[in-house]
């Protein structure tokens, strides 16, 4: 059985091979950073859209597509892989 994110649960992102979590979390297919700023979404097909722009106004990732989520793994466009770790309630 393939694991997947469950509604209402919070998932922190931890780079594979690291014990440190990155800033932000996923909940209900929405990505929040810096406390509670909604800056991204996971679409039904797993596409991870990160809607943050660079200082010049251009998107940080082309078309805001930063990577792809499969099960409990996020693979970013730059090749960095994150485990999605469910947080206790």
Each residue's pLDDT expressed in tens, for the chain with a length of 89 residues:
458 899 999 999 999 999 999 999 999 999 999 878 999 999 999 999 999 999 999 999 999 999 999 999 999 999 999 999 999 97
CB 61 within 8 A of CB 41: no
With residues binned 3-state (H G I as helix, E B as strand, rest as coil), the percentages for the chain, rounded to 5, are 5, 45, 50
What tokens were used for 84? Answer: 């999605």
- 18 Cβ contact partners less than 8 Å away, ≥ 6 residues apart: none
List residues bridging with 27 in a β-sheet: 10, 30
């Amino acid at each position: 059985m393939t694991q997947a994110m469950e509604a209402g649960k919070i998932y922190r992102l931890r780079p594979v091979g690291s014990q440190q979590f990155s800033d932000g979390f996923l909940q209900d297919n929405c990505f929040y950073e810096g406390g509670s700023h909604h800056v991204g979404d996971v679409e039904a097909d797993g596409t991870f859209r990160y809607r943050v722009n660079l200082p010049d106004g251009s998107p940080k990732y082309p078309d805001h597509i930063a990577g792809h989520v499969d099960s409990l793994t996020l693979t970013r466009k730059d090749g960095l892989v994150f485990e999605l770790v469910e947080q206790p309630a």
